[in-house]
Amino acid sequence: MLHCGSFRLSLSRPLVMGIVNVTPDSFSDGGQHATTSAAVEHALHLIDEGADILDIGGESTRPGAMPASTEEELRRVIPVIEALRGKDIPLSVDTCKPEVMREALAAGADMINDVNALHAPGALEVLAESQAAICFMHMRGEPRNMQAAPEYQDVVGEVSTFLAERLATAQALGITRERLVVDPGFGFGKNLEHNLELLRHLECFAKLGVPLLAGMSRKSMLGSITGLPVGERLIPSVTAAVLAALKGAKILRVHDVRETRQALQVVAAIEETN
């Protein structure tokens, strides 16, 4: 059971977290309203497709991306939370900024998904005062430079030690285990071989004792394997989600909710027989 704000999420089957990017469309002259309404419309579509959680993000963390200002991120994310709260679906916010976390929680967010694992000063304290779930993700470096030349002696061991340390730190601040989620952070300061090694040994992270989240949807690791451009990575993405679920992932962060749900129904049918 994951405690996620006022929600209690059963993990008897893997949950699908639908990605809602709140990033301005440069071809639109509708300004803020167009950005908000496009994101909300997309979110409602993902709910229709069977999303269990929505992950709302106002800052791009793709390799090479530059950080957005706090004000800009708040302008993007808060109106979307306000429009979606009351839809009876847990809302996660993908942010590294304590101020955005605080405002998002006040606006009704149920979970904070931080690719920087709450390292910003004050972030852990904001979460300690809330009932929100937290996803700690592993990243090496920063989005700006993380793909320069990542190096590990033992990627699985190092990521695992890192995540265990974050869990211990959170619990020392009084944040209960039931609120915590871990994620090895596919593509965040990892080359293809590192990503494959993480996927091969994904069950190691499930052993940390809290739900495991995996996000490989449309990522460049899938492009490297298949040669497909980002818009054509549906089948590789669903395959990766299925493999992750078979290795113990309990939350799959994806763009393609409907197709992932269908594939996970087959996984669930197999798992019920053993």
Binding residue (CB under 6 A) for ligand 7PJ from 8, 33, 62, 87: 62
Instruction: Work out whether 167 is an interface residue with ligand 7PJ (CB under 6 A).
Output: no
Decide whether 158 or 271 has the Cβ nearer to ligand 7PJ: 158
For residue 35, give Cα distances in angstroms to 4, 75, 191: 27, 10, 33
250 classed as catalytic: no
Binding residue (CB under 6 A) for ligand 7PJ from 78, 111, 155, 213: 213
Instruction: Work out whether 80 is an interface residue with ligand 7PJ (CB under 6 A).
Output: no
CB burial readout 125-152, b (16+ within 10 A) else e: ebbeebebbbbbbbbbeebeebbeeeeb
Instruction: Work out whether 5 is an interface residue with ligand 7PJ (CB under 6 A).
Output: no
253 classed as catalytic: yes
Report in angstroms how near the CB of residue 143 gets to ligand 7PJ at its nearest.
9
**List 102, 166, 233, 253, catalytic entry:** 253
Stretch that binds ligand 7PJ, among 34-42, 168-176, 183-191, 193-201 (CB under 6 A): 183-191
Report in angstroms how near the CB of residue 102 gets to ligand 7PJ at its nearest.
19
Contact 200, 192 (CB under 8 A): no
Per DSSP, the residues of 89-119 read S-EEEE---HHHHHHHHHHT--EEEETTTT-
Residue whose tokens read 């593509």: 187
Contact 15, 52 (CB under 8 A): yes
Binding residue (CB under 6 A) for ligand 7PJ from 123, 137, 202, 238: 137
Binding residue (CB under 6 A) for ligand 7PJ from 59, 94, 110, 256: 94
Instruction: Work out whether 135 is an interface residue with ligand 7PJ (CB under 6 A).
Output: yes
Our measurement of the distance from residue 152's CA atom to the centroid of its chain's CA atoms, rounded to an integer in Å, reads 23
Contact 117, 139 (CB under 8 A): yes
Instruction: Work out whether 162 is an interface residue with ligand 7PJ (CB under 6 A).
Output: no
Binding residue (CB under 6 A) for ligand 7PJ from 113, 160, 237, 260: 113
Contact 163, 134 (CB under 8 A): no
- Catalog residues that contact ligand 7PJ under the rule CB under 6 A: 61-62, 94, 113, 115, 135, 137, 183, 185-186, 213, 215, 219, 253
Q: Which residues are catalytic?
A: 219, 253
